[in-house]
Amino acid sequence: MGLNDKYVRFLAVFTAILTVGLVAYRFFLWPYNGCEDNVEWQTGQDVPFSTQPERSDKTCYTVKRVIDGDTLVLDNGDTVRLIGVDTPETKHPEIPVQRFGKEASEFTRRMAEGREVTLEFDGPREGVYGRKLAYVFVGKTLLNVKIIRRGYGYAYTRFPHARMAEFIEAERQARYKQYGLWNYSLTDGRIANLAKRYEQLSKEGKMLLEKTWDQLLKKYPGPGEPETETEQ
């Protein structure tokens, strides 16, 4: 057997051993966490690569408890503020419990408390209060946008993020379908919210709101009320 034949056989055996070793490592020794396979790592359309959200360093966490609709505590002690969504306050030291705040907190609790979640970051990882800022996936469900789509929170647009267009569209759909915060019933939704916020308005704000109500009542009289001619 020539030298070239021995060299070829050596390369073939070496390649086969290396392939078997890599396969064994992948299936038997590679750290595995089922949570990652449940997540669809998606980003908004037409977003530059530099602004794409990034994965968490750790695959999975368990939600230890829910503080309110947009804030969670993980099993490692970190507090997470959901990016791009703002739910009514229930724990603010200077603001009374806001309408639909308890419902939003309960929705998030049902969705996430005690369950494994995956974090995705977009920009700074921590806010001014030391809370982690993240998108939170429960399985394949993006909790942030689910809250907005079901009418339990607003699309928070003060700080831009990669999924902002998706979140704004989710709020538009919730408004159109009159879900949750956008319902027009007297005991719930936008009208009840206006009534509860009335006392928080300034004097000028109250006068403007009453003027607006008067204009609406004249333009859209209730049953049995005489219609008022509007100025041309």
pLDDT digits (tens, 9 = 90+) for 56-82: 555 689 999 999 999 999 999 999 999
88 lies in some domain = yes
Token pair listed for 2: 């020539």
Least confident window among 4-18, 98-112, 189-203: 4-18
Which tops the pLDDT comparison, 223 or 207? 207
- Residue 56's pLDDT is 56
- Residue 169's pLDDT is 97
Domain that residue 213 falls in: 190-219
Q: What pTM was computed for the model?
A: 0.60
- Residue 75's pLDDT is 95
| pLDDT, the chain, mean | 75
174 and 203 co-located in one domain = no
Which tops the pLDDT comparison, 60 or 119? 119
- Residue 211's pLDDT is 84
232 lies in some domain = no
Positive/negative CA dihedral, 140, 144, 145, 146: positive
157 and 59 co-located in one domain = yes
Res. 195: pLDDT tops 50: yes
Quick one: CA torsion of 155, 159, 162, 164, rounded to 10 degrees? 20
- Residue 154's pLDDT is 92
61 and 107 co-located in one domain = yes
Res. 175: pLDDT tops 50: yes
Calpha distance 101→86 (Å, rounded)? 10
175: domain CATH number?
Answer: 2.40.50.90
Q: Partners of 74 in the beta sheet?
A: 63
- Residue 110's pLDDT is 94
Domain count, the chain: 2
The terminus-to-terminus CA distance of the chain in angstroms comes to 106
Q: Which residues are catalytic?
A: 81, 89, 131
Calpha distance 24→47 (Å, rounded)? 38
- Residue 146's pLDDT is 96
DSSP run (H or E) holding 190: helix 190-197
Least confident window among 54-58, 124-128, 154-158, 167-171: 54-58
pLDDT digits (tens, 9 = 90+) for 16-49: 665 655 544 444 444 444 465 444 444 443 333 3
Q: Which of the four pLDDT bands, split at 50, 70 and 90, describes residue 182?
A: confident
- Residue 101's pLDDT is 73
Give the SS3 label for residue 72: strand
- Residue 220's pLDDT is 76
- Residue 45's pLDDT is 37
Match 């999975």 to its residue by tokens. Answer: 60
Calpha distance 73→66 (Å, rounded)? 6
- Residue 60's pLDDT is 87
165 lies in some domain = yes
145 and 211 co-located in one domain = no
Tell me the helices (H) and strands (E) count for the chain, helix number first.
7, 9
99 and 214 co-located in one domain = no
Q: Which amino acid is at 137?
A: F
Token pair listed for 30: 């590679």
106 and 66 co-located in one domain = yes
21 lies in some domain = no
